[in-house]
Copies of this chain bind each other. A is one copy, B any other.
C-alpha cells in the first residue's frame, strides 16, 4: 500500500467546516492561503490535514506529512 492515505475534502465540506460559502474557500485557494488540488475537470480538492490545522487556529503553515508526536 502506498503511504499516500491523505484524505481530500470538497469545497462544500471545507465551507461547512469554516461556516463560510464555498466561494470563499475558493478565494482562499486562489490566494494561496490553502493548498488546493485540481481535478482534470477544474474542481478543487483540499487536504483534510491542512484544513484541520487551519481549523485549530494554527497560523503557522502545517508541515507536510504526519504530525509526529514529538
Copies of this protein, total: 2
Size range of the chain A interface in the assembly: 20 to 34
On whether the beta carbons of A40 and B54 are closer than 8 Å, the reply is: yes
Complex CA gap A63/B38 in Å reads 20
Q: Is A19 an interface residue (CB 8 A)?
A: yes
Determine the residue in chain B with the shortest Cβ distance to A18.
B39
On whether the beta carbons of A41 and B55 are closer than 8 Å, the reply is: no
Chain B residues whose CB sits within 8 angstroms of the CB of A57 once the complex forms: 37-38
Complex CA gap A37/B17 in Å reads 11
Determine the residue in chain B with the shortest Cβ distance to A19.
B8
By Cβ-Cβ distance, the 6 closest A-B pairs, closest first, are: A8-B19, A33-B40, A28-B40, A19-B45, A18-B39, A34-B40
